[in-house]
């Protein structure tokens, strides 16, 4: 097994503790999907875990939500082989757009057309998330006055860019809220003068 025999000389002392905890949980669950792990000797398993810890730390795998995606893919495979750390990481990063609060490419066109009617009043539009607000506003600002065909061509690229931002923890701007209009307060003297004027017009003493 190449993963076991190839030892990365970099120690795991610098790897985040959270990565170690994630790996322990991953390997506990992988035994059910990958029976070959049962044949790995303790010393070899330790080396294997070190490689995975480094792989997770280097590729930003640091949440249980990411690991859940990886484990779901591992359970779905039809053989008992142990995936490489690179393959497992790719599974962890296989995001569903809806998980990120974004539409799929197939849904985007309809969402954008609907948003065009609210572009001047975004507080009245029901966004899925701040990420979707950023996505629709970005497309509208760049292509709202251009041909629809140009807008359609740009959608895949812009959507992919926003997906990547969401995946890496980008801080999206807040969705605008409707500012509550405060009732206009009429000063007492103005109100009094106005009432006196009305009485004068109506001939009331």
Which pLDDT tens digit goes with each residue over 154-188? Answer: 999 999 899 989 988 899 999 988 544 455 556 66
State the average pLDDT for the chain: 81
Residues 163, 123, single domain; the answer is yes
> Which residue did the predictor score with more confidence, 136 or 160?
136
- Domain membership of residue 3 (yes or no) is no
37: number of Cβ within 10 Å: 16
- Domain limits at 87? 8-94
Residue 193 has pLDDT above 70, yes or no: no
Q: What total number of domains does the chain contain?
A: 2
How is residue 179 written in tokens? 């500012």
- Domain membership of residue 57 (yes or no) is yes
DSSP string, 117-180: TTTT-GGGS--S-HHHHHHHHHHHHHHTTS-HHHHHHHHHHHHHHHHHHHHTT--PPPPP-PPP
169 sits in the region (left: phi over 0; alpha: psi -120 to 50; else beta) called left
- Residue with structure tokens 């995606």? 69
SS3 for 63? coil
Residues 126, 88, single domain; the answer is no
- Reference 136, options 170, 162, 100; nearest CA is 162
- Domain membership of residue 119 (yes or no) is yes
Residues 121, 147, single domain; the answer is yes
pLDDT at 180: 46
- Domain membership of residue 173 (yes or no) is yes
CA atoms within 13 A on the CB side of 98: 2
Residues 103, 179, single domain; the answer is yes
Rounded (5°) CA angle 51-57-58 = 90
Distance, CA of 1 to chain centre: 36
Among 74, 94, 114, give the residue marking a domain's end: 94
203 sits in the region (left: phi over 0; alpha: psi -120 to 50; else beta) called left
- Domain membership of residue 2 (yes or no) is no
Mean pLDDT over residues 36-43, rounded?
88
Percent of the chain surpassing pLDDT 90: 34
- Domain membership of residue 167 (yes or no) is yes
108: number of Cβ within 10 Å: 21
How is residue 106 written in tokens? 């197939």
Among 94, 111, 138, give the residue marking a domain's end: 94
Q: What is the pTM of this model?
A: 0.52
| Length of the chain as a residue count | 205
Among 94, 110, 130, give the residue marking a domain's end: 94
Q: What's the rounded Cα separation, in Å, for the pair 89 and 69?
A: 9
């Amino acid at each position: 097994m190449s993963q076991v025999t190839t030892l990365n000389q970099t120690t795991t002392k610098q790897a985040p503790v959270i990565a170690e905890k994630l790996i322990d949980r991953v390997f506990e669950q992988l035994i059910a999907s990958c029976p070959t792990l049962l044949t790995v000797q303790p010393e070899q398993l330790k080396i294997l875990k070190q490689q995975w810890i480094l792989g997770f730390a280097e590729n930003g795998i640091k949440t249980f939500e990411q690991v859940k995606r990886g484990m779901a893919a591992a359970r779905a495979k039809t053989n008992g082989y142990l995936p490489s750390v690179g393959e497992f990481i790719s599974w962890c990063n296989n995001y569903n757009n809806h998980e990120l609060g974004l539409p799929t490419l197939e849904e985007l066109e309809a969402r954008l057309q609907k948003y065009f009617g609210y572009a001047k009043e975004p507080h009245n539009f029901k966004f899925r998330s701040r990420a979707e607000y950023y996505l629709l506003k970005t497309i509208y600002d760049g292509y709202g006055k251009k041909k629809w065909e140009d807008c359609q061509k740009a959608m895949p690229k812009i959507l992919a860019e926003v997906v990547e931002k969401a995946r890496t923890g980008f801080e999206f701007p807040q969705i605008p809220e409707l500012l509550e209009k405060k009732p206009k307060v009429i000063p007492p003297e103005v109100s009094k003068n106005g009432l006196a004027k009305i009485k004068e017009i109506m001939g009331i003493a």
